[in-house]
Amino acid sequence: MANEKKMASTPRSPAARTPIASKPAVPMASVVPVGGVRGQQRAIIDAVLPSVDGGRFAAKCVAGEPFHVEAHCFAEGHDALRVMLRWQAEGAAGWTEQPMTLKWNDEWHARFTPPTPGRYAYSVSAWVDVFESWRHELVRRVDPEDIRIAARTGALEIRAHAQRASGTDRALLDRWASELEAGALDLTLDVDALKLRALDDALADVANRYPNRSHQSESAVLPLVADRLRARYSTWYELFPRSAGDVPGRHGTFADVERRLPYVQRMGFDVLYFPPIHPVGREQRKGKNNALVALADDVGSPWAIGAAEGGHTSILPALGTAAQFRSLVAKARAHGMEIALDIAFQCAPDHPWVKEHPAWFRWRPDGSVQYAENPPKKYQDIYPFNFESDDWQSLWRELKGVFDHWIGEGVQVFRVDNPHTKAFPFWEWCIAQIKREHPGVIFLAEAFTRPKVMHRLAKVGYSQSYTYFTWRNTKEELTDYFTELASRPGLDYFRPNVWPNTPDILHEALQRGDRATYMTRLLLAATLSASYGIYGPAYELLEHLPRNPGSEEYLDSEKYQLRHWDLKRADSLAPFIAHVNGIRRDNVALQANDSLRFLPIDNEQLIAYAKTSPDGRNVIVCVVNLDPFNAQQGWLQMDGEDFDVKRGDAFQMHDLLGGERFIWRGGRHFIRLDPHQLPAHVMRLRRASRSEHDFDYFE
């Protein structure tokens, strides 16, 4: 009509907002809660992920990196929801809150970044959003009378929002409600203008600051532990300080280890791990090759802890003093490394605790203490603790005090020996207490045992866990196992640390001593897992002789005697290890496990997989020949589109291991690997630059 009035508005397009199909919500009458359920809480929070055993245990993340939360939220019908993520540091006065975004299939996503290592909590709130439901329903209205009625309905809702606001926001919302009420009653007003004013996005943003949350649903509060980066990405090197001497037969010292730091640093390791450095028991001491009778000059097993000189907070005098140990810790840090100590909660027969606290041990009818056994292995030189002791509380305090002592000496990383043979409640209490006091401490669980037991240790607080990698050698075994490790639920709390060898384990595949196998196993460890380690110098010097046929024990094992290592041997793998660790350091894709995906390749002796950085820019593709004797070839199925390469574009695969560069296009690519040269490709995908005139056409 010629005399129709116009209402001024500068709205954004409703289509630019997230579309929500709904009807205006009708206020429900108050109901009495039945069985603890409030009928007005219509929003359903079906799941919040990650959630470790329903929140019984904490999920894990890295401080300073985004932590992603997913919530499955919906309500009956088609009303719109608002979903919020809340989080706080343990002990904080209040919660930080942020909106979650609907992706698809009622799955809402948000992320927050814990700023520092420590314990956190997070939860989700959701409610039916009457205001946004009204707005979206109005978008679909075309009948003039329907639009006028909807405008009056909206005005009532906007006034309710205004009552929760204050200052200029309240005045703005009150004025908006009045305009809609007046416009709905003014039959001369153009209903299209009325509708446009009702859908004003800028005003809606103001109203959305003051929602009605009286009927919101809330999830359980879930725990989270934020660690420092080294808990997720670390590169370990194990050595026996007593074998670090430069003269055969001379007992090594902390000063000898200091002189070896540049060697370990050049290989690219950031954690230098020692077996126990405590006094070694003399009673029932083991001789060379685990002999039951020790000779006068036998040094015994460092895991037989305790003698007249002291126990778990003492240092074997032959290694040096506490001041020299602190010097070593500082020197290692200056070389970009941390010292990790082995904590083994067990005692030699002459450990002071055996006499001072007899209740902490199991006594046999003949008056002797039950020594440790793992049939057929017997450890006559080791007494385990009795965690069912009536004096368990003092035992717990004393054991925690061991960690406290070494933390005071500057140690922040601990490898714990056989934690699966100690009580789970102790670990849950001890680790939680220590990490509250020292959030940066890292615990590695050395537990080669049943899977559920290993996972429980991770749940109760261990930062990292040993794995079955040593015994996973075929393509099928590796694919299945690492797919499991990179998947939920374990991905949320179980961080693998994989080792090709340890002082206890010389796998039969390594007993041939062929160079290609040692290179292959190290490559697999270093690229499949963000954390890995080797026991050296045995590994880089290809130590491979077993004590007996069929045994995984080393001949002349360092566990029972001093060893002298020629680190300058021409056949040492040290340069190769340094190269691989440099690739890990320079490519963030290799520093996490969640992006791991295996790629099809038509040869059972070739295994292929890829990892991608969170921003998608760093893509590493590995192809490894599992046959140490023969060259193998096959066709790799890898489409560049899966890695953000435009269909039909060429892309470059830069082999960081061998240096070659290959130009690929399409989805099938020929691979040939000769283990006598290099047993693998570790390739970085480089996409074409925007300009063909760039100096390097590929980024």
Q: Which residue has the tokens 């990698």?
A: 469
Cβ atoms of 505 and 535 within 8 Å: the answer is no
Among residues 137, 270, 398, 417, the one annotated as catalytic is 417
Give the integer Cα–Cα distance in Å for 99 and 693: 44
Q: At what angle do helices 254-266 and 322-334 cross, to 10 degrees?
A: 10
Q: How far apart are CA 84 and CA 69, in angstroms?
A: 11
| Closest among 47, 25, 29 to 38, alpha carbons compared | 29
Q: What is the total residue count of the chain?
A: 699
- Is 611 strand, coil or helix? strand
Is 417 catalytic? The answer is yes
CA distances from 206 to 80, 197, 203, 445, 476 (A): 18, 14, 5, 52, 57
Give yes or no for a contact between 415 and 340, defined as CB atoms under 8 angstroms apart. Answer: yes
Helices (H) and strands (E) in the chain, counts: 14, 30
DSSP 300-347: --TTSB-BTTBSTTS--TTT--HHHHHHHHHHHHHTT-EEEEEE--EE
Q: How many CA atoms lie within 13 A of 623 on its CB side?
A: 29
Q: Are 459 and 493 in contact (CB under 8 A)?
A: yes
Query: Side-chain half-sphere of 649: how many Cα atoms within 13 Å?
Result: 19
Q: Which residue has the tokens 């490894």?
A: 624
Q: Which residues of 261-299 are buried (b: 16+ CB within 10 A; e: fewer)?
A: bebbbebbbbbbbbbbbbbbbbebbbbbebeeebeeebb
Q: Which of 157, 446, 492, 543 is catalytic?
A: 446
Distance, in Å, from the CA atom of 527 to the CA atom of 523, rounded to the nearest integer, reads 6
Q: Both tokens of residue 264? A: 């370990």
Neighbours of 72 (CB within 10 A): 16
Q: φ, ψ for residue 672 (rounded to 5)?
A: -140, 125
Q: How far apart are the first and last CA of the chain?
A: 62
CA proximity to 479, closest of 328, 640, 622: 622
Cα→Cα distances 122→97, 117, 364, 439, 472, Å: 10, 15, 49, 18, 37
CB 57 within 8 A of CB 221: no
Judge whether 446 counts as a catalytic residue. yes
- Whole-angstrom distance, CA of residue 389 vs CA of residue 405: 24
Tokens, residue 57: 């245990």
- Residue with tokens 């009495």, as numbered in its chain: 32
CB atoms near residue 575 (< 10 Å)? 11
Catalytic residues: 417, 446
